[in-house]
Structure 1
Amino acid sequence: MEVDMTTGIRRTAVVAVTAGLLLAGGLAAPALAAEASPPGSHQAARQIGVVEKVTAFYDQYLDAINGTNPNMDPTEVRNEFLTPELNARLDDWAEENMADPVFRAQNTPESRDVRYEGSGAGHATVIVTEHFGDGSTIDVWYRVPLDGGRISDLKDAPQ
């Protein structure tokens, strides 16, 4: 075991504990994943990638709506992450429903959970569960290409 004399920390133990925590939390450290690539690891990386993409979009969009990042405009965020076709459909949805087309509501959620639902035909489904101040929740389903392209669909949960 290697000991750093300036801090007295055992590096091997720190790396092992960190790796264990990451893996227990469902995340794989890139360096560790590169060393040992078990079957299906590319699929796991894609799952993490699509969840990260939806999470990044959602959080940046929320910041833009709330004005907490003055360098971001909601339209710019949508243009960066969403296909032009989806953007057009969302504009139509907003006009019809008089609500925010991403949040699917007239107000902003207080928090959210993001989870991978499954994949097929080159796309993954990621579900964002939005939590509102009155205790209500809304599930919004995202369709994301596995090849890293822009989010291609966003809709209410199937009935």
Structure 2
Amino acid sequence: MLDLNRNTALAIAGICGTAFIGYCVYFDKKRRNDPEFKKKLRERRSKYAKQVGPSGTTFPDLRDVEAVQKFFLAEVQRGEELLALGNYEDGVEHLTNAVAVCGQPQQLLQVLKQTLPPPVFAMLLEKLPSINQRLATSPTIAQKKPDDVTTATITDVDDLE
């Protein structure tokens, strides 16, 4: 009697599994044949690409202090990890992002000048002019009203060289 129940349970499980897979295949085909599917997919991908931005980094809303602090710490940590692994280009990219959202970029740059090797710090200085452009194209800045836009600038970079 135990074998009969076990065989019956296996047969029911097999039938249910086959029905579920058939259900998935049918509705996936129906979804893909929908004329609006590709249009919606393109819209979703372009929306995501705008959120991420050209450098692949999504900046936080600069009005949210907690989000900016988390972003800053994460970027500094990731930059240090990449530099330790020898990936200087990506490490400098993350440190540049941290400088972009830092409340006191001159002090951060002074610390980085003392801690980074001179060639790596030179790479960082080369990337600094692109910070304002990346922040300006950030979705969190672009979504603000024109009278509410705050532009972050880093001045006196020449003093660090």
Same fold flag (TM > 0.5): no
The one of the two structures with greater contact order (alpha-carbon pairs below 8 A, sep at least 6) is 2
Q: Which has the higher strand share?
A: 1
TM-score, length-scaled by structure 1: 0.28
Who wins on radius of gyration, i.e. which is larger?
A: 2
